[in-house]
């Protein structure tokens, strides 16, 4: 399967990062979002991040110019369907993802591969609603996409070998490393990572430590580059909660029960960096713990 053009649905933090690495690797990228403003912001973010790479000597100025020239945007979801590879990178909500695939499927060519950047939702279930479950996979990039080296490849129960091999080749061309994961809730990385974050929230909830002491303990005591609560804010507390709910519902084990304090923060709209407040308040010059 020769993949030259890539359609990315969702121009948020993950979508713009995915568009960035594909354009830099020589793919033609078409970026779509329901918000025209989000697409403008995404292209500006990609330009800024590429310029940062030029400044650090990671890429040449010509590489940046060529990558930016490969990125186009569209408000028409049917345009995305004409690409060789579709990557859905919308919010971690199964109903939203299903609506996206429902709108794309009628316009697809026979060989187009469908993928989702979901961090936890069943690939088999998402694929079953499309006309090509054999050409459907989980394509889970880590955040921030231009920096993180891992891509999880998740086969649904019907995914065929040529589709899997095609995506292995794509990841290699991106200069990243693929890890194959079975289609069970949250796959590998988030099956381990997000329950650790949830446990850190329980430690905060129970008063064992405050935000700063919990984060400093894991950074200095376990050599983590970022504390778990700081990391939760970076990921988005709504995303962390969604993953915990998928784990709790899918595996029916009480150890995956979301911490009530995590739920409360999400109910308050304190979702982390993207909303200005989470376990830290980001509205000043430096982040300040909120508990």
Rounded CA-CA distance 267/276 in Å is: 15
The pLDDT score that the predictor gives to residue 161 is: 97
Q: Whole-prediction pTM value? A: 0.89
Q: Do the annotations mark residue 44 as ligand-binding? A: no
Q: Do the annotations mark residue 15 as ligand-binding? A: yes
The pLDDT score that the predictor gives to residue 2 is: 86
Q: Do the annotations mark residue 13 as ligand-binding? A: yes
Q: What angle do CA 69, 44, 23 make, to 5 degrees?
A: 35
Which are the catalytic amino acids? 119, 140, 152, 190
Q: Do the annotations mark residue 33 as ligand-binding? A: yes
Residue carrying structure tokens 């290699």 = 172
- The CA–CA distances, whole Å, from 149 to 89, 111, 138, 145, 265 equal 18, 28, 16, 8, 30
Q: Between 3.90.79.10, 3.30.1330.10, 1.10.1040.10, 3.40.50.2000, what CATH number should domain 189-289 receive?
A: 1.10.1040.10
Radius of gyration of the chain (CA): 19
Domain ranges of the chain: 5-182, 189-289
Give every residue of the chain whose pLDDT is below 70, as ranges.
1
The tens digit of pLDDT for each residue in 156-204 reads 999 999 999 999 999 999 999 999 999 999 999 999 999 999 999 999 9
CATH of domain 5-182: 3.40.50.720
Q: Do the annotations mark residue 116 as ligand-binding? A: no
Whether 67 contacts 28, CB under 8 Å: no
The pLDDT score that the predictor gives to residue 174 is: 98
The pLDDT score that the predictor gives to residue 192 is: 97
Q: Is there a common fold for 5-182 and 189-289?
A: no
The pLDDT score that the predictor gives to residue 282 is: 98
The tens digit of pLDDT for each residue in 95-125 reads 999 999 999 999 999 999 999 999 989 999 9
């Amino acid at each position: 399967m020769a993949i030259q053009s890539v359609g990315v649905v969702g121009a948020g933090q993950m979508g713009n990062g995915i568009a960035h690495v594909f354009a830099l690797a020589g793919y033609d990228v078409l970026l779509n979002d329901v918000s025209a403003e989000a697409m403008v912001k995404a292209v500006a973010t990609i330009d800024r991040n590429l310029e940062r790479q030029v400044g650090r000597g990671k890429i040449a100025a010509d590489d940046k110019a060529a990558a930016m020239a490969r990125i186009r945007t569209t408000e028409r979801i049917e345009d995305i369907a004409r690409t060789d590879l579709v990557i859905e990178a919308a919010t971690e909500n199964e109903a939203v993802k299903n609506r996206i695939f429902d709108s794309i499927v009628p316009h697809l060519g026979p060989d187009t591969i469908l993928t989702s950047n979901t961090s936890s939702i069943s690939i088999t279930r998402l694929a079953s609603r499309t006309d090509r479950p054999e050409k459907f996979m989980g394509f889970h990039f880590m955040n921030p996409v231009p920096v993180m080296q891992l891509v999880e490849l998740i086969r649904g129960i019907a995914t065929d070998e040529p589709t899997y091999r095609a995506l292995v080749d794509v990841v290699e061309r991106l200069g990243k490393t693929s890890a194959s994961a079975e289609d069970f809730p949250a796959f590998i990385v988030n099956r381990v990572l997000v329950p650790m974050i949830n446990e850190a929230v329980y430690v905060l909830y129970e008063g064992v430590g405050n935000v700063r002491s919990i984060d400093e303990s894991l950074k200095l005591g376990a050599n983590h580059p970022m504390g778990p609560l700081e990391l939760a804010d970076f990921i988005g507390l709504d995303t962390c909660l969604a993953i915990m709910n998928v784990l709790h519902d899918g595996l029916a084990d009480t150890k995956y029960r979301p911490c009530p304090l995590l739920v409360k923060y999400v109910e308050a709209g304190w979702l982390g960096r993207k909303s200005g407040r989470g376990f830290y308040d980001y509205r000043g010059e430096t982040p300040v713990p909120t508990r």
